[in-house]
Amino acid sequence: MLGVARPPRGSSFKPLLGLDRAGAALILDLLAEDPGRVVSLIDHTLLRPEATEADIAQLCREARQYHFASVCINPTHVRFAAQQLQNSGVNVCAVVGFPLGATTTQEKLTETEHAIAAGATEIDMVINIGALKGRDYDFVAEQIAAVVAEAHAGGALCKVIIETALLTDEEKVLACQFAVPAGADFVKTSTGFSRGGATVEDVALMRRTVGPAIGVKASGGVRTLADVRHMIAAGATRIGTSSGVAIAHEAGIQP
């Protein structure tokens, strides 16, 4: 399995990609036994346009201290973050086509290639939302498949952001159905830059659609340990949040 982050010291818990109901129950049981395991599910996120190199350095220090799954950042910061996180076991996740998704396939491929060359080991790619809503399904499916293939060729995971707040339930299902045969490693709810973030209902719908084969990332508005548990119960296997440190503290973890 590509790009899986190191679990907390002394833990046998490993984050999963796919998940079924029994798997969700197991993760919840493990978190109840040791809430500190939550950190290995978190993509520690800083995507604000005003983020400075000093902000990214702090993000990486926190990721090393708490052993988060990854840092999720804009492509301009990838090389610096990869240097900061060398030999830490924390992955570098770069967003592509972010936050609107309204770029060409070639632009997304180039962005993916450059991010991986700079040190990214995970790619979070926004689909072309307008094309999906316009029913240009061949284009959407082909673009997802192309970016997934580019990411995998570089040894990186690929998460497909569908921006649930802008989609009908039918469109959410279609986007997930395009991601599975493309070989995506995860489907992801949201960029955090639209009108809404992750909901339990959307995570559950996405999990039902993709089945146990691939991961579901809940991102946007996940701020507490209780939020994390609700998302896992619905089927999430990765959490994107800028509140990772607060969640870790709530779980009783100190660096």
Query: Residue 168: is it exposed, middle or buried by C-beta count within 10 angstroms (0-12/13-18/19+)?
Result: exposed
- Collapsed DSSP state (helix, strand, coil) of residue 36: helix
Neighbours of 13 (CB within 10 A): 19
d(CA 103, CA 191): 15
Q: Are strands 215-219 and 70-73 parallel, antiparallel or unpaired?
A: unpaired
In angstroms, the CA 221 to CA 137 distance is 29
Evaluate whether 99 touches 45 at the Cβ level (below 8 Å).
no
Number of helical (H) and strand (E) elements in the chain, helices listed first: 10, 8
Q: Which residues are part of the catalytic machinery?
A: 124, 188, 217
* 160 neighbors 146 (Cβ within 8 angstroms): no
DSSP state of 40: G
d(CA 170, CA 186): 19
